[in-house]
């Protein structure tokens, strides 16, 4: 897996044929100043998901009402370009990129904070992987790890995306099947999708506990 250089990124972004299977789509198209040696700067969009910790105790993937609980734990807010969102120390919010991105089947990407914001204590992405075939606005997990509040401005170049070419593709593995694919705003967590899997592990644990119990005499 090799990282695309700025020249390779430009080549894939500005191909004349929109049906080219190797083309990378970023809409709006980035300006040349936003294309660095091996990355592209991404701007912060207008939609955020903020948490309401005062009204919530815990978030459990194995809870029966997890989907409903997440809806009560988080709320969606819109911040215009002429306004701002203040992120206090230790606070977590979900944002999204202003750009809509579509990756070809042989490109994998990772998202990182721009160092300008990272030095201010802001972590921009805690889940950085963008799988081949993904399309949509990227959700950004924003955490203020600093000691002072950080002001977020929609339209600011907050993150950067690095593209890598996948050496080989397994044709039997479905591409672009992410449950967050196609989103144009930050989406609520789908932690409830893990319920069945965690319940199965719970049953395995209970069976193991029964086997370890001493026999009654």
Catalytic residues: 141
Question: DSSP letters of 117-135?
Answer: HHTTTEE--SS-EE-TT-E
Give yes or no for a contact between 190 and 197, defined as CB atoms under 8 angstroms apart: no
Instruction: In whole angstroms, give the CA distance from residue 45 to residue 50.
Output: 14
Q: Output phi, psi for 160, to 5 deg.
A: -140, 145
Rounded-to-integer distance, Cα 123 and Cα 114, Å:
9
Cα 79 to Cα 47: distance, rounded to the nearest angstrom: 6
CA 139 to CA 49: how far, in whole Å?
Answer: 10
Residue 63's alpha-carbon distances to 67, 74, 115, in angstroms, are 9, 17, 38
- β-pair partners for 130: 109
């Amino acid at each position: 897996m090799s990282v695309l250089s700025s020249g390779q990124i430009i080549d894939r972004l500005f191909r004349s044929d929109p049906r080219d299977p190797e083309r990378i789509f970023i809409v709006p198209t980035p300006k040349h100043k936003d294309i660095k040696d091996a990355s592209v700067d991404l701007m912060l969009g207008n939609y955020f998901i903020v948490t309401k910790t005062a009204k919530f105790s815990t978030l459990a993937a194995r809870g029966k009402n997890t989907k409903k609980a997440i809806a009560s734990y988080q709320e969606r807010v819109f911040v215009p370009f002429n306004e701002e969102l203040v992120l206090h120390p230790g606070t977590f919010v979900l944002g999204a990129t202003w750009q809509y991105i579509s990756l070809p089947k042989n490109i994998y990407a990772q998202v990182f904070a721009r160092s300008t914001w990272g030095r201010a204590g802001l972590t921009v992405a805690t889940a950085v992987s963008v799988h081949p075939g993904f399309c949509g606005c990227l959700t950004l997990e924003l955490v203020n790890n600093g000691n002072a509040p950080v002001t977020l401005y929609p339209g600011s170049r907050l993150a950067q995306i690095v593209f890598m070419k996948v050496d080989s593709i397994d044709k039997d593995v479905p591409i672009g099947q992410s449950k967050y694919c196609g989103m144009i705003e930050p989406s609520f967590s789908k932690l409830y999708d893990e319920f069945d899997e965690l319940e199965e592990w719970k049953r395995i644990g209970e069976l193991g506990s029964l086997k370890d119990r001493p026999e009654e005499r």
